[in-house]
Amino acid sequence: MHFVKFLFTGLLLTLAATAGAQTGASFPNKPFKFIVPFPAGSGTDTAARRVAQELTIRSGQSVVVENKPGASGFIAAQAAAHADPDGSTLFITTNTTHGANSALFKKLPYDPVKDFEPVSLLAYSAEVLLVSPQSPYQDIGALLKAMRVPGKQFKFGTGNSGSRVAAEMLRIRLNADTLAVPYKGTPPAMTDLMGNLLDFMFVDTGPALPQVQAGKLRALATSGSERELQLPNIPTLEESGLKGFQMTVWTAAFVPAGTPKAAINKLNGWIQEIVAEPKFRELMAQSGGKTQGSTVEELRAFVASEIKKWGDTIRAAGIEPD
């Protein structure tokens, strides 16, 4: 009986190993799907579509980008977590779903660690503090001065967690009276900002640049440690007197938990090649993004550190979880 059991166990191990080898050899054998938690035109969407173009060339498979905005990324995260774990579905997401949400909400309908396997970092960027062209605030000094004066409330739009937390950090630093107006994503919030329905907003550099360059929005400051190459005349908030004020947002690729390691490693290799290409780096730089790949384990450790960092920041800003 023990001998039969030994043979059966050995057979199962052999079959598992064979299946794993076949997965690596045959992958990919169908089109890819990129699930994005923000609408078309957002910074994350732009990065996803550029990676999709390059992945199609390398893999020989087409890539469909599926935008599932709303509910702070919950809809997209759940869809990605429940997708077949065969390596064909990638979740192209940000610090919203895999950093800040853990502290912004008392309970999540997904687990950013247990429900996903990391693939690679893709890019990171600062945020731009924007106002409408009709705004009375011509520079960051004027806005900061006005926000320090009691008696006036400032409305700001939030298209993702980065935009909300940055604005809340500003509120705390200035002891200002602000009201957050949530949106399904950055593009609709910017539309209302252009219409002067909001007082200000923090926006990822990618979607902010075209609107600033077209004169549809006015950039007052950036949230990075240094000035943006595409906005050399716009100061950082730290330069503007808010010492230590920095906010960086990032984009990364994940797959559903249970995806074979062979598929993950192949995807990681392709993405590392893509983000290292000078052409890709230049394209991302034009929209204010800086590319940065990673190993699988580096991204796993990074997510753990980001959950802690965003949690600390959110608690320090006095934001109560919903």
Question: Model confidence over 152-196: pLDDT tens digits?
Answer: 999 999 988 889 999 998 998 999 999 999 998 889 999 999 999
73 Ramachandran zone, left/alpha/beta (phi>0; psi -120 to 50) = left
Q: Name the percent of the chain lying above pLDDT 90.
A: 69
pLDDT at 119: 98
User: Is 310 contained in some domain?
Assistant: yes
Residues 43 and 183 reside in one and the same domain:
no
The 8-class DSSP code of residue 99 comes to I
Residues 84 and 137 reside in one and the same domain:
no
Residues 196 and 218 reside in one and the same domain:
yes
Residues 139 and 205 reside in one and the same domain:
yes
pTM for the complete prediction? 0.79
Strands 177-182 and 153-158: parallel
The residue ranges of DSSP E strands in 105-182, in sequence order, are 116-131, 153-158, 177-182
b/e per residue, 245-271, with b = 16+ CB within 10 A?
Answer: bbbebbbbbbbbeebbebbbbbbbebb
Model confidence at 139: pLDDT above 60: yes
Question: Model confidence over 250-289: pLDDT tens digits?
Answer: 999 999 999 999 999 999 999 999 999 998 888 888 777 7
User: Is 110 contained in some domain?
Assistant: yes
Residues 119 and 45 reside in one and the same domain:
yes
User: Is 111 contained in some domain?
Assistant: yes
Residues 107 and 141 reside in one and the same domain:
no
**Partners of 66 in beta bridges:** 35
Q: Which residues contact 62 (CB under 8 A, 6 or more apart)?
A: 31, 32, 56
Distance CA 204, CA 105 (A): 22
Residues 57 and 67 reside in one and the same domain:
yes
DSSP H helices, 82-139, are 95, 101-104
Question: Model confidence over 61-96: pLDDT tens digits?
Answer: 999 999 999 888 999 999 999 999 999 999 999 999
In terms of pLDDT, which residue wins out, 13 or 315? 315
Residues 82 and 112 reside in one and the same domain:
yes
Torsion of CA 98, 99, 101, 107, to 10 degrees: 80
Residues 201 and 278 reside in one and the same domain:
no
Residues 210 and 146 reside in one and the same domain:
yes
Average pLDDT, the chain: 89
Domain that holds residue 202: 126-222
Angle formed at CA 171 by CA 166 and CA 172, multiple of 5 degrees: 100
User: Is 239 contained in some domain?
Assistant: no
User: Is 241 contained in some domain?
Assistant: no
User: Is 217 contained in some domain?
Assistant: yes
Instruction: Name residue 67's amino acid.
Output: N
Distance CA 275, CA 298 (A): 15
Residues 272 and 309 reside in one and the same domain:
yes
User: Is 321 contained in some domain?
Assistant: no
